[in-house]
A and B are shown apart, each in its own frame.
Chain A
Amino acid sequence: MTASPPAIEAVDVSRTYQLDGVSVEALRGVSLTVQPGDYVALVGPSGSGKSTLMHLLGGLDRPTGGRLVIGGRDVNALSPPEMATLRNETIGFVFQAFHLLPRTSAVENVALPLVYRGVSARQRRERAAAMLGRVGLGHRLGHRPNQMSGGEQQRVAIARALVTEPTVLLADEPTGNLDSVTGAAVLELLERLNAESGVALVMVTHDQEVAARARRRITMRDGVVVADSATDDGTAHLHDRPLSVDHGRPATLVPAPSAEPRSVSGSGPGHPSGGSGGAAGATGRLPHPPDRGPGSEDADAATGDGSDS
């Protein structure tokens, strides 16, 4: 019962844009909680509000309604500089387009967030180099983005996101610009880091196979969460069904249970939800090492942060 405080908590969050005098409701009352160590896939069709939600969760934007608490701090009470500091300390971003600084070496790119934390140049370099080592680029410290492959660039970006030891890693289509082999490797890296360091991984993706690997799936449509495998009970698949139609997929996707049972301890591994197609099935079996402590098990029912123990 020692539930650690959630990394991010959104309560009835909405976000309305004013475009040429017209109000556009990008988010209409979204409530969700991201727990430390979570592995969440955020899915939904274009325009469903995924990106808006990601920006809010990352503290890049503010809700126009509701309450959003990141790292224990209410975003609505923070000034822009405080938001910047909050991002620096709690959030790591990985973008589809990498967003590395050109003409800047890998190690300097990774060290960038530390600059805004006031870390000395020498320490920055050391920590950035160590982080690059962890993503398998220890031999590429001095390379510039244009001297690296897409996969390597995304690894640099991941190292940059994690060098500050954030509690949440927000990845917006991290494999979207990569071929399937490279993408799979990057995904494995993200999963390994999620497992090893306990950083919560929230990933926007269009790729059902990728989404299927997450321990928890949040589906959005028209600015609301229509399914969250962490909070949904058996009815989750009711929400999921239309999704599968959207994507022109057969009912094989129905196995929302594929994620579901795993949160209900024990039942998961029993039927590796295999139905949902080869790759997804295979990745579904990816044995996540028993991450986190037993503490997270308590939260299982609520958050789906279940381990397969």
Chain B
Amino acid sequence: MRVAEAWRVALDALRANRLRSALTMLGVIIGVASVVLLVAIGTGTKQKVEQQVEGLGSNLLLVVPGRIEVGTAPVVSPLTLKDVDAVTRVVGDPDRVAVTIASGATARAGARTDFTTVQGVLETTPAVFTRSLARGRYLTGTDVDTSRRVAVLGDSVARALFPDRDPLGQQVTLAGVRFRVIGVFAPLGQSLGVDRDDEVHVPVTAAQRLWGTQRVDGIAVKAPDRERIDELGERIVAELNRRHPDTEFSAVTQQQILGVLGDILGVLTGVLAAIAGISLLVGGVGVSNIMLVSVRERTREIGLRKAVGARPRDIGVQFLLEAVLLTTIGGLTGMALGVGTALLVDALSPIPAAITWWSLALAFGVSAAVGIVFGVVPAQRAGRLDPVVALRAE
């Protein structure tokens, strides 16, 4: 009963000072909205990166020369197709091993040109990485064995070179050598600002001939199951170290990549949320300030309520509820604003944003907590007012 009265009185007090209440809430609204928005952007980015890493295929093991460390210069690969054969023997299944040798090159078809990445690969690539074709066929074992000059175009390359005709069967010149188009990849889209459809796959043997080399840049292995992936990586690295004692090799899994990226993005999200949290804090100070004003303004009312039997707690609860109402109404509005902005950002900009329930629950909880924390001092002050003094107040 008394609590119901306290709610009614608190609402009434907010209504009586609409503009002031709205301005006070604005601080909380902005704070909560920025927390929701920035957490959404952080979460969205993380999710997108995870999707892309996982989208490469499952149980992937990437083997490259050198160390995978920030600040380490890339190593010129000593790997050749013989090493790939050795790795295949370790793995025991040629279909699970893919290679790459990549270089930028100008692709030309008729008068049109497009600077793109040419990848020399084995026919196993679509099985190891998750890639699918929109048209035509992929490379075959025969294409690789015979160094046949055939090419599979990424979606962007196909559009750039053949905007108005079917690329299948057409000639395309890569680094001055003519290849025949046998297939076009299904589009993958952008990833962190990189166009993943801007590539051309050719047989690794043809690519090596194109650039006059025997090397391959890296080997990718699709492990049969997740449990033995680390052990398999160690065996592959051991075999390669045996064959090339002067070079170090690294094998990394998707989980390791995800772990590192996830840590970085997690810290980033936390920092963003903390910055937004500061504005929420400032909003809370505003609430505290306005509550002190409210207590002073209504000193006589407090005195009267005490005279007719309100206990200190009744008065305290009344003002605390007023503060909590300010911040929770502000918090809900801020959540709506944050969610709306996040959806807009996600839809209209390349920045991904994902709303998570926990971030909304957190934002609401924090705004209610802000109300309690910043309302408690004014509420206590109101509750402790001496009724005699309060009744005399102007």
Contacts and interface: CB of A to CB of B under 8 A. Distances in A.
Given A55-B388, A60-B387, A119 B1 contact: yes
B334 interface: no
B308 A60 contact: no
B2 interface: yes
B133 interface: no
Given A81-B313, A84-B306, A103 B2 contact: no
Contacts of B388: 55, 60-61
B17 to A, nearest CB: 11
A160 interface: yes
B310 A84 contact: yes
Nearest to A55: B388
Contacts of A95: 391
Contact of A116 (B300, B309, B386): B309
Interface stretch (A28-36, A86-94, A148-156): A86-94
A278 interface: no
A185 interface: no
B387 A115 contact: no
B111 to A, nearest CB: 80
Contacts, number: 66
Interface string A49-77: 00000010010110000000000000000
A117 interface: yes
Interface in B1-52: 1-2, 4-5, 12, 16
Nearest to A89: B309
B301 A101 contact: yes
Interface in B263-302: 300-301
Nearest to B312: A80
B307 interface: yes
A2 interface: no
Contacts of A58: 307
A88 B1 contact: no
Interface in A95-117: 95, 99, 101, 103, 112-113, 115-117
Nearest to B1: A118
Contact of A80 (B300, B307, B311, B391): B311
B305 interface: yes
A202 to B, nearest CB: 15
Contact of B304 (A99, A115, A117): A99
Given A118-B1, A120-B1, A81 B312 contact: yes
23 contacts: A55-B388, A60-B307, A60-B388, A61-B388, A84-B309, A84-B314, A85-B309, A87-B309, A93-B307, A93-B308, A99-B300, A99-B303, A99-B307, A101-B304, A103-B12, A112-B305, A115-B1, A115-B5, A116-B310, A118-B1, A118-B2, A119-B1, A121-B1
Interface of A: 55, 58, 60-61, 80-81, 84-85, 87-89, 93, 95, 99, 101, 103, 112-113, 115-121, 160, 164
Given A87-B306, A89-B309, A99-B391, 6 more contacts: A60-B388, A84-B306, A85-B311, A88-B309, A116-B310, A121-B4
